[in-house]
Structure 1
Amino acid sequence: MTLQGTGDETVVLNAMRVRTLRSGPPLAWDAYIMGVGCGGNVPAEGFTTDLDAPRPALKPLSGQRDFPYKVSASDPEVFYVTANTTAHDVTWCLEIDWSSGDRHGTLRVTDAGTPFRTAPAKNRPTWQWPPGDTAWGPEVKG
């Protein structure tokens, strides 16, 4: 995700956390791998979370720093968040606490208003759509 201020004022991103909305048994259907292929060379801050934990927490990837960060209209920040689960079907979102001058709030991050949903693919038929292909095909391992 890319976070950017709307004006010249600096916005401090004080904290980001995972909010679990629902956790249930794994799904009994096929799995689809999204994001197969290579990405661009965009500097980004990386975080990971274990959605199977009783209280999932974001952890910076090795060598990355934790919050706070700052953004403005001319100084955006890109974050990659990788959420993993091996045992549950989890519906979740991110919450970012921010402040700018005497204003502050919490931004809820979803997929256009719909919470994210992550489930394990272990022991499930798994499909992918690699760049250049024209259809879903079986996952290519290795």
Structure 2
Amino acid sequence: PPPPTTHPARAPAGAAAPSRQAPANGPALTVSTTPYYWDVPCDHAFLVDRSPKNVPKPPPQQDAVGWATPLNAVSANRQMTVLTVQGTGPETVVLEDLHVRVVDSGPALDWNQYVMGNGCGGQVDVTAFDVSLDLGTPLATPIGGQRDFPYSVSESDPEVFHVNAHTSGQNVSWYLELEWSSGGRHGTTRVDDHGKPFRTSASKDSSYYAYPLGSDAWEFVEGE
């Protein structure tokens, strides 16, 4: 006999919805997460508990998860995360608020810092929600012209949010909760790193390893 079905079948993406409401037993929205995002490679660094000879060369941004996961790498000092939020049907889903939840906070990691790029200019201002993980209760605060919540999405009208989390002295495990409503339905969707909390830690000092263009090895750069 066929195995029992434990989840309701979903229509393929883009299929016409027969009704104006999302299925009562299904999510009203989906969230696609990019845990590590940078416009230029100098904007991101990782802490890794390994010597330079045991750390592969820096990846392009789209391959960051595959690089960081086997190394147990942790974002150094700041972490830009991108959320793409989309409704599952034609009806409007109102995104009421974005909450920051801290799972654990402790002393900064005493690991080597590896910068993903070398020789860039200063940081680029970005439209985002800023999260100071050093606060007792971190908030997602709009910066750079970002409009605050609420927002509205549907299947044909997604929204993209940048979240810039940072710490100057802690090692923080955290995730986000997106509060939403659609018609008479209300819910909260957890946003994290593929089932695990995001992790962001301050670096022990400003020294780091860089991988210059044309090089085949990490080079140590003394901090100020």
Report TM bin, short chain: 0.7 to 0.9
Q: Please tell me the root mean square deviation across aligned C-alpha atoms, in Å.
A: 2.9
Aligned to 1:112: 194
Q: In structure 1, what is the Cα distance between the partners aligned to 2:163 and 2:116?
A: 14
Cα distance 1:88–1:96, how it changes in 2: closer, same or farther (>3 A)?
same
1:63 equivalent in alignment to 2:145:
yes
- Secondary structure of the residue aligned to 1:12 is strand
Greater relative CO (CA pairs within 8 A, separation 6+): 1
Aligned to 1:123: 205
Q: In structure 2, what is the Cα distance between the partners aligned to 1:105 and 1:35?
A: 40
1:19 equivalent in alignment to 2:101:
yes
Q: TM-score scaled to structure 1, two decimals?
A: 0.81
Amino acid at match of 2:187: G
Map 1:23-34 onto structure 2 (within 5 A): 23-33=105-115
Shift of 1:47: 0.6
Q: In structure 2, what is the Cα distance between the partners aligned to 1:5 and 1:47?
A: 21
Q: In structure 2, what is the Cα distance between the partners aligned to 1:76 and 1:2?
A: 7
Q: In structure 1, what is the Cα distance between the partners aligned to 2:138 and 2:89?
A: 33
Q: In structure 1, what is the Cα distance between the partners aligned to 2:209 and 2:160?
A: 28
Greater helix share, structure number: 2
Map 1:1-142 onto structure 2 (within 5 A): 1-33=83-115, 46-123=128-205, 125-127=207-209, 138=220
Structure showing greater Rg = 2
Structure 1 moving runs of 4+ over 3 Å: 32-36, 127-139
Paired positions, count: 136
Q: In structure 1, what is the Cα distance between the partners aligned to 2:132 and 2:180?
A: 24
Greater strand share, structure number: 1
Shift of 1:130: 7.8
Identity %: 51
Cα distance 1:28–1:106, how it changes in 2: closer, same or farther (>3 A)?
same
Q: Which structure 1 residue ranges, 5 or more long, are not aligned? A: 39-43
The answer (yes or no) to whether the contact 1:86–1:122 under 8 Å persists in 2 is no
